[in-house]
Amino acid sequence: MKYEAVIGLEVHAQMRTESKIFCGCSTRFGSEPNTQTCEICIGMPGVLPVLNKKALEFAIRTGLAMGCTISAYSRFARKNYFYPDLPKGYQISQFEHPICEHGHVDVAVDGETKRVRITRIHMEEDAGKNIHEGGGNYSFVDLNRAGVPLMEIVSEPDIRSPKEASEYMKKLRTILRYLGVCDGNMDQGSLRCDANVSVRPVGQKEYGTRAEVKNINSFRFVEKAIDYEIRRQIRVVEEGGKVVQETRLWDSAKGITESMRSKEEAHDYRYFPEPDLVPIAAERRWIDELRASLPELPDAKKVRFVSAYGLPEYDADLLTSEKAVAEWFEEAVKAGGQPKAVSNWMMGDLMKLLNGDNREIGDCPVGPERLAGMLKLIDKGTISGKIAKTVFEEMYRSGKDAEQIVREKGLLQISDESAIEKTVDELIARHPAEVERFRGGEEKLLGFFVGQAMKAMKGKANPQVLNELLKKKLS
Ligand code: ADP
Ligand code: MG
Ligand code: ZN
């Protein structure tokens, strides 16, 4: 029997606000434990939370970008559970009245567009962090993270494969970063997800029983954890068993999911309306302002990059995956770079150098005008495309512009026929056997001669002139 997987993701995104969601403490990552705390976020009795307006704005912006309805009435709820990293004994979250509902995100998977519906986006506070180190018979708790604002983005069970799940998650990250509402830093936990997974025989309408896999913090693990979970469930069913509804933990070291606890139901949390916070009725006018101020989003940008610059979909997709990359591209084109050439250099040499240094495009030592300047030198025939690779790397390392480097290093392309002819004559004299074979019909040997000539001329020969001369002399 063939099975189909059904997947829904609950993604937690840490909002990039300066201060926490219900108090003025800083949200900065990596400080000394418990230095960013106050009476409110450590849960002292008798204090009152106040909603951070920026957090509300970020949640609404996200909802608008994902085509959600923004609720005219929204409110917070207490989600009760006991854990040492949750000093109040409840988490302030949203339950019946989330701020955003009924949106969607389009995801490209293997050349096809797949729509994943968003059930809801709600706001909540993060918990602290338990630290089990030191070796003694005790643990520590760091409450710097307690009260940091989160958005939980819940999808409908529209996802059908591990790959779709990771692409969906990547798309969410891209959108959140475009909006500037989350830094998307997965290794710092700014973006994490729980995956709900079930399987059913192909053709069956009803969903199977799901397990919820927690603790997934990278795109690779989204795929691996879900893939493992699908196989596990199919095995259970094929062996005549039943999948039980439960919460499982992804163990990235072992590459497996393990049962953690039976699935809790909403009533286990004894949700009730948060009495210390007033309901939210966001003004329409404000929402309209936020909608009008949304940046051009990745899907729209991609379509425009294809139509306005004549780029292949593949290029447009890569160049629009980060807003800063897209802006860099457009500046280089504005400075006179031919779009496809700019794209090639960005996706090739530029990305390679940046990745090698673990740098973002924002910290790139070569500015877009500099790349455009170098492309002009190639177009004019001042330097060869091959030499340009050296020039580009030198621009990147030294911060100098292309013309200066070409001048200082004597990298001007040699187009003068007599200079090239000398090299070609020498080559032909030195390789009589190859010349013979070429004349006998082994035309691919032309590449050998081109390579040798380029080597002799340190890559500076004008390739067109060189090719023509070689063909003439060899025939
Ligand atoms: P909770 O996990 O808090 O009980 P929900 O019941 O609303 O919340 O479901 C959470 C997630 O589980 C959603 O992303 C939803 O799409 C997904 N989901 C619900 N039913 C299934 C199912 N049978 N198989 C896979 N995912 C499911
Ligand atoms: Mg859940
Ligand atoms: Zn605080």
CATH number at residue 444: 1.10.10.410
Residues 281, 334 share a domain: no
Which atom belonging to ligand 1 lies closest to the Cα atom of 209? 23
Mean pLDDT across 436-445: 87
pLDDT digits (tens, 9 = 90+) for 370-390: 999 889 888 887 887 788 888
Distance 13 CA to ligand 3 centre (A): 19
Q: Which of 289, 306, 337 is the last residue of a domain?
A: 289
Residue 337 beta carbon below 6 angstroms from any ligand 1 atom:
no
Query: Which residues are near ligand 3, the ion (C-beta closer than 5 Å)?
Result: 23, 25, 38, 40-41
Q: Does residue 349 share a domain with residue 271?
A: no
pLDDT of 210 over the 80 cut: yes
* 19-53 pLDDT tens trace: 999 999 999 998 999 999 999 999 999 999 999 99
Higher pLDDT, 407 or 224: 224
CA–centroid distance, 185 to ligand 3, in Å, is 23
- Compute the mean pLDDT over every residue in the chain, rounded to the nearest whole number: 92
Range(s) of the domain holding residue 457: 417-474
User: Given this model, what pLDDT does residue 399 score?
Assistant: 82
Q: Residue 410: what pLDDT?
A: 72
Residue bearing the bigger pLDDT, 443 or 344: 344
- Do 323 and 273 have their domain in common? no
Residues 380 and 272 in one domain: no
251 vs 459, higher pLDDT: 251
- The answer to whether the CB of 4 is under 6 A from ligand 1 is no
Q: Are 280 and 56 in contact (CB under 8 A)?
A: yes
What percent of the chain has a predicted confidence (pLDDT) above 90?
Answer: 67
Cα gap 418→225, rounded to integer Å: 64
Q: What is the pLDDT of residues 239-250, one digit of tens each?
A: 999 999 999 999
Of residues 106 and 470, the one with the higher pLDDT is: 106
Evaluate: CB of 98 within 6 angstroms of ligand 1.
no
Residue 100: phi and psi, rounded to 5, are -130, 145
Ligand 1 mutation pick, 196, 205, 213, 226, max ligand atoms within 8 A of CB: 196
> Does 300 share its domain with 236?
no
52 and 177 within one domain: yes
- What is the structure's pLDDT at 162? 96
- The answer on 398 and 433 residing in a single domain is no
Closest protein CA for atom 13 of ligand 1: 8
Domain total in the chain: 3
Which of 381, 409, 437 is where one domain is finished? 409
Confidence check: pLDDT of 330 > 90 = yes
What is the pLDDT averaged over residues 64-91? 96
Looking at the structure, tell me whether residues 100 and 220 fall in a common domain: yes
CA 199 to centroid of ligand 1, rounded, Å:
13
Task: State residue 406's pLDDT score.
Answer: 77
Residues 248 and 333 occupy one common structural domain: no
Pairing of strands 149-155, 246-251: unpaired
**Domain shared by 402 and 423, yes or no:** no
25 Cα–ligand 3 center, Å: 4
Ligand positioned closest to the Cα atom of 8: 1
Give the end of a domain, one of 222, 254, 289: 289
**pLDDT greater at residue 471 or residue 212:** 212
What pLDDT sits at residue 147? Answer: 97
Same domain, 302 and 402: yes
Ligand nearest the Cα of residue 211 is: 1
- Residues whose CB falls within 8 Å of the CB of residue 18, separated by 6 or more in sequence, listed in order: 26, 27, 54
Is the pLDDT confidence value at 459 over 90? no
**DSSP β-ladder status, 211-216 and 246-251:** parallel
Give the model confidence (pLDDT) of 263-316 as tens digits. Answer: 677 778 899 999 999 999 999 999 999 999 999 999 999 999 999 999 999 999
Q: Which of 208, 175, 176, 204 is nearest to 190 (CA)?
A: 176
Whether 247 contacts 263, CB under 8 Å: yes
Cα angle for residues 464, 465, 467 (degrees, 5° grid): 65
Residue 222 shares a structural domain with residue 206: yes
Q: Identify which ligand lies nearest to the alpha carbon of 79.
A: 1
pLDDT at 191 over 90: yes
- Cβ–ligand 1 contact at 120 (below 6 Å): no
* 67-103 core/surface letters (b: 16 or more CB in 10 A; e: else): ebebbeebbbbbbeeeeebbbbebbbbbbebbbbbeb
User: What is residue 190's predicted lDDT score, i.e. its pLDDT?
Assistant: 93
For residue 1, name the pLDDT band (cuts at 50, 70, 90).
low
pTM (predicted TM-score): 0.85
- pLDDT confidence of residue 115: 97
What's the pLDDT at 236?
95
